[in-house]
Amino acid sequence: MNAFADTNKIGKDNMDNALRSISAVTKGFQQIAAETTEFTKKSYEQSAQMFERLAQVRTLDKAIELQSEYARSAYEAWVSQANKMGEIYTEIAREAYRPIESSVQQNQQYAQNMANQAN
């Protein structure tokens, strides 16, 4: 192939890879939104249950115990969710980079071939 056709093909491949990368990021953001929605829903339900239980408490000691239990479980749920979100973000970055890595390798090979032809 000639240099013009090669350059055209490289440009098309780069655009396709960029679109794949953007698609991976979009899918990842959809997953983040779904996870965040689910976590928020569960958190709200747990809070509502805790307030119902708190309303039934007759002593201050029991109220403090219940509040402490709720705080511990809410913190554990939050840490778990933070870890899960971190894993999702890592996977998004990995999936978004994969097509770009392919383009970089292809461009390096093309540049090397062009340099060799020029010599």
SS3 call for 79: helix
Other C-beta atoms closer than 10 Å to the C-beta of 35 total: 14
**Surface-to-core class of residue 99, CB atoms within 10 Å of its CB (0-12 exposed, 13-18 middle, 19+ buried):** buried
Per-residue pLDDT at 1: 52
Give the residue among 105, 113, 115 at the shortest CA–CA distance from 6: 113
- pLDDT tens for the chain, 119 residues long, are 577 787 888 888 889 999 999 999 999 999 999 999 999 999 999 999 999 999 999 999 999 999 999 999 999 999 999 999 999 999 999 999 999 988 888 888 888 888 888 77
d(CA 72, CA 107): 52
Give the number of other Cβ atoms within 10 Å of residue 21's Cβ: 19
CA atoms of 46 and 87, how far apart (whole Å): 24
d(C-alpha 110, C-alpha 102), whole Å: 12
Task: Specify the pTM.
Answer: 0.77
